[in-house]
Amino acid sequence: MNTKLISKNPTAYHNYIIENKIEAGIVLSGTEIKSIRAGKANLKDSYAIIKNGEVFVVGMHISPYEHGNIFNKDPLRNRKLLLNKREINKLIGLTKQKGYSLIPISLYFKGSLVKLELGIGKGKKLYDKRQDIAKKDALKKINQAMKQKYRE
């Protein structure tokens, strides 16, 4: 099926070690869909919670639609995610374990539907982040050296 990326969470892979991913539908109003089609969605600082057997995404910002007048919703409201009962029970079991969180990774269109990719991961420690930065720097230096050698 045809997918089109709307927004990515820039801090998801920096702050968490993502071990599992799951695709979820999301409940939106009409003006929110129009605003998303205009590319005005932001996943930074968002997370998902499980409340009363339902999963909600908190902190996802969808800008109000310019021509939406009274039909616009609060840009930071909690939005319900659409998952089946088996998936929700699996998420409940994983988040009960120490250190696991539900992190929105990306928001995208799948056909005409809006989907949210949720990651199940553990928070990184400071030394994990330092190791990742060191690996990236090493790869960058290797690539630069290879380009330099290739040009000569």
Q: Is 53 exposed, middle or buried (0-12, 13-18, 19+ CB in 10 A)?
A: exposed
pTM, 2 dp: 0.72
Q: Are 60 and 46 in contact (CB under 8 A)?
A: yes
Q: Are 80 and 27 in contact (CB under 8 A)?
A: yes
Residue 71 reports pLDDT greater than 70: no
Residue 129 reports pLDDT greater than 80: no
Domains of the chain: 3-124 (2.40.280.10)
Residue 140: predicted pLDDT: 87
Higher pLDDT, 131 or 74: 131
- Quote the CA–CA distance of 152 and 147 in Å, as a whole number: 9
What pLDDT, in 10s, does the model give residues 8-65? 888 877 788 888 888 888 888 787 888 888 888 888 888 888 888 888 988 888 877 7
Q: Are 72 and 79 in contact (CB under 8 A)?
A: no
Q: Is 139 exposed, middle or buried (0-12, 13-18, 19+ CB in 10 A)?
A: exposed
